[in-house]
Amino acid sequence: MTLQFSLGPVAPETVDTPCLVVGVYENGVFSSAAARVDTAVQGALKRQVESGDISGKAGSTNLLFAPEGVVARRVLVVGLGGQKSFDGARFQKVCIEAARALGRLPIEAAVSCLTEVDVPGRDAAWRVRIAALAADHAAYRYTATFKPREKSAQPELGALAFAGGDEGKAGLEQAAAIAEGVRFARELANLPPNICNPAYIAAQAQAFAEGQDKVACRVLDHVEMENLGFGSLLAVGRGSANKPKLVVLEYKGGADGDKPYAFVGKGITFDTGGISLKPGAGMEEMKYDMGGAAGVLGAFVATVKMGLPVNLACVVPAVENMPDGDAYRPSDVLTSLSGLTIEVLNTDAEGRLILCDALTYTAQTFQPKVLIDAATLTGACVVALGKHASGLMSKHDDLAAELLAAGEASLDRAWRLPLWDDYQVQLDSGFADVANIGGKNAGAITAGCFLARFTEGQRWAHLDIAGTAWDEGRKGMATGRPVPLLAQWLLDRVSDAGA
């Protein structure tokens, strides 16, 4: 079920709702809404704080059923943590935990006053947007038809209203569009690889384009790519019965003749490692190796739904990396679309081999003002940054700063890694222009350095989302990152243009 959001003024003690959400800090400090509720219920909240039943610990939840003195049938009290250290990340956390708690209740609607809690440095529109996206993320359920959900015997949360005035309206509108993009990305990445193959990704992109006035979609098949010279990309797909596709989406929301922004996303729909076969343990998670493709497609959907006045191109090389009698091998030398030759030292370093051709094609076709790629590229990035931050690489300090700022604003954060030429020597080859791996040291950086060779003259940045695109474990699912970061970056470009 997709949550429906609304916004309006709320009097906590008189609002008629199945559940009202208010926040309480540690040490018994009430938010304004909680204070009004406490007055209405004649100190019941204060007594629970004094007894220790309500701790105020960040993310904790306590439910009061049918409290006398307020109209709401339930009051959900959410811990905000220490007031002095309260910040945007904490705000997001408590909104997620509140949504999870609401999802466990037998209710169809609720009203949240968390959007009135002060977050230093953030305005009302930001609070509403983050709260709505957090709730939508928590409410997401995998809905594939081959695992149908049992219809719940009790009501399910379908509507969430936020306290706030007109100043939060823009945030709610943005949240609805970005949430749609995030869900698009998550659903695509969560699908099994026998369903979500290159042809399926192409079909989903085409289906989206058909319903939008300013969007066009073109799909190149393996024959067209061979004629154009996609030697690196096609080599990766040679071992699979599922032929590669190059998905090209265009959104023309800006002025005619304006150069577009361009996103490129790695779309390895399943990665066995090829001849350099991966270990069996954990290989099932390699369906998420198209997380970059899902992310840029989701960001494209969000951009279109927000109706941003920009031109945007989105290019997805969709390929499956399988071992086969015709699969490419270690020591093969490939000729890329750019003309650079590549010595293959490891067929499991395949993402950069499809991206280099896609980046060359995007630069040649669109001459974009900015080129950004997103890819679940290296395990080395996960070792370096863990699951919290995406790796960011760029030779353009201003572009890197823009993306880092967008990550902080959207709470979809990145951390910059160096892209110095000092590392390029690790990619030297005696048999080609460049090797596809740079050895065991600085693996995330040398992967970025490889891509840099194919983006000369471009204002380009690379996002390694190997640690952030999905949650690990048997029940781990796609996160939809970096949709919020990329959407925020485009929002900032629009804002800067109008300044």
What residues act catalytically? 278, 352
Phi, psi of 285 (to 5 degrees): -75, -10
Distances (CA, A) of 365 to 181, 210, 230, 358, 497: 25, 22, 14, 10, 24
If you count them, how many residues does the chain have? 499
Is beta strand 245-252 parallel, antiparallel or unpaired with respect to 215-220?
antiparallel
Instruction: Compute the C-alpha angle 447/316/473, nearest 5°.
Output: 65
What is d(CA 349, CA 331) in angstroms, rounded to the nearest whole number?
Answer: 13
Sequence-distant (≥ 6) Cβ neighbours of residue 383 within 8 angstroms: none
Radius of gyration of the chain (CA): 24
Mark out the alpha helices in 20-103 (DSSP H runs): 32-40, 44-51, 88-103
Which region, left, alpha or beta, applies to residue 69 given φ > 0 means left and ψ of -120 to 50 means alpha?
left
Paired tokens of 220: 């190149």
If one counts every other C-beta atom within 10 angstroms of the C-beta of residue 93, the result is: 17
Cβ-count burial of 481 within 10 angstroms (0-12 exposed, 13-18 middle, 19+ buried)?
A: buried
Instruction: Compute the C-alpha angle 269/320/313, nearest 5°.
Output: 60
Q: Which residues, listed in sequence order, are joined to residue 342 by a DSSP beta bridge?
A: 334, 434
Q: b/e map of 197-226 (b: 16 or more CB within 10 Å)? A: bbbbbbebbeebbeeeeebebbbbebeebe
206, 233 contact by CB (below 8 A): no
77, 24 contact by CB (below 8 A): yes
Paired tokens of 293: 């493709």
Is beta strand 20-25 parallel, antiparallel or unpaired with respect to 74-81?
parallel
189, 144 contact by CB (below 8 A): no
What is d(CA 469, CA 480) in angstroms, rounded to the nearest whole number?
Answer: 6
What is d(CA 184, CA 205) in angstroms, rounded to the nearest whole number?
Answer: 10
The dihedral formed by the CA atoms of 109, 98, 125 and 308, expressed in degrees to the nearest 10: -80
Please name which of 368, 406, 193 lies closest in space to residue 289, comparing C-alpha atoms.
193
If one counts every other C-beta atom within 10 angstroms of the C-beta of residue 120, the result is: 10
